[in-house]
Structure 1
């Protein structure tokens, strides 16, 4: 077996999976520009790879942005602010009825009156999504980015009206600096919207994961429409801090279907913190290197994700940037304008099939998560 692939022998269900929250999709449907993103069948690539169905969830345009991150960021912001501002009780029923029934206008007026500022650390898409939510609410946002982040990503965040602060460190260090800045904001008016949990009781990071449920609700409907049944044999997801992968495992383990779905994760070789952790049998931080998959250049997993990923991921693949670059071009021929993080799923699937690492064939129905649209990048030797 290639050293770039880890096959998990635990093969056990994850424990303590939350129930599906029916309020999440209703909330997203209330946001401007909501519509389900496409699930695109790729028959030519499927035939070339020798598998039955290859279905790509195209998140290159979601709620007016070029990535899926707005699903988690919007729901987490909504939940964090309704609690902070007393629109729902911390541990009880909402004061104004169902949380998803509280209009954004009501939340915006309360957040503006309280002079709330949103904080987030990002290597691109999450920060822009938090900035968009601040824009919707008419409040300020401060987005911290690693100093190496490209100018295009910073420009897009600023274009949402947010302040961008570069931090001279890697992504993990930027996360810590952002948390400290939010906590130091005067009179407790700084609210951190983090998509990685530093502790296992981080409610906001849990809401990020929960927010991704809308994507999987759509996938279930779309798979049934395309194939005539709800069989999904394999799901391939990119990994940064692991929040999306946690949502993938959670959904596919708690959803009944004839065949259990195998979860395959893909990371850049220069930042394979999940694969490293699975090999070590414990959550392990790593030092990251350069990768064109800048949104996945993370050295530490989310603390709430590891217990679920440890037992729920079947295979972890580390891909070379050159593989991702090729996958971007292959998807372009199919009309999919994916960025590096979005194309990484195809690169990982192609690599694992080239090694015979898993049992995939004509009876396989594979769902690829394409998580971001086209973005600039620079290949390095």
Structure 2
């Protein structure tokens, strides 16, 4: 009869530790596990930089009783700080290997800030902010050097179409009941998301040029459309093919209730026609930039693309908005992405403008003041 193979242990490669007040905290940013522990846990984790058995640990830390060390091992495994050789890595853990060059700095930030619990009552959130302002006033929104030499600047002519659109761009939170037309959605995607030109670089491949800049012309962002109220388009979730300029239906059915669930704490977006969810395919950026700072470029790309969408939507006479308050894992599940190699990072949305107003920052039912 074949004897059972000895179980070995190894430290998870996705750990960070830090002091929080008087507590030493260990966090696995791949699993979202966060626990406090005594400093001896750090000594145990340091020992398991490669596969070792429990008996190896007993010999290494002879001053501790084997029973107490075995108990510590079980606790570290239970909290995903140690891996076991008899357990296969999860699909998420395997996918996390693609972040090796960016970890721990970028991985820790990205994964530990997902699925934030937002205040669901906008009025309560506003009053909490007012209470904070009593002891911590809002920082000034501009900076000046009053003692420095001053150079007056020319004021531009703003009668042209581009200045008009630029000055008219606002975030809308109230929408008309009529849906946006599919034709208009297509024009928006063409202007803001489509590949406008390809540039071939010998020995490397094709690089896309779009109307928004991207670090290294790598364009890691993809666009998914959650469309509950677009006239001429069956409700559903679609992927935008940026090369062929078409929508690919991934799921049938989309409701305003689902849309609000994707943007927690923002119920005013229930009347929007469509939510455009931006995901990042990180390998596109990781391929060229094998250092964690490039994660910043991915987030900046989302900002560039968001502004392009909002300006194009304004030019088309729509009511655009953008938001970072997302139910990350819920969105990723419905899009069918793994949340590791491809993850949601930002969202923009559109609705029809309500009649008779130039801007509707707050719907009457949710106005905080």
TM-score where L is the length of structure 1? 0.24
Which structure has more strand as a fraction of its residues? Answer: 2
Which structure has more helix as a fraction of its residues? Answer: 1
Rg larger for: 2
TM-score where L is the length of structure 2? 0.25
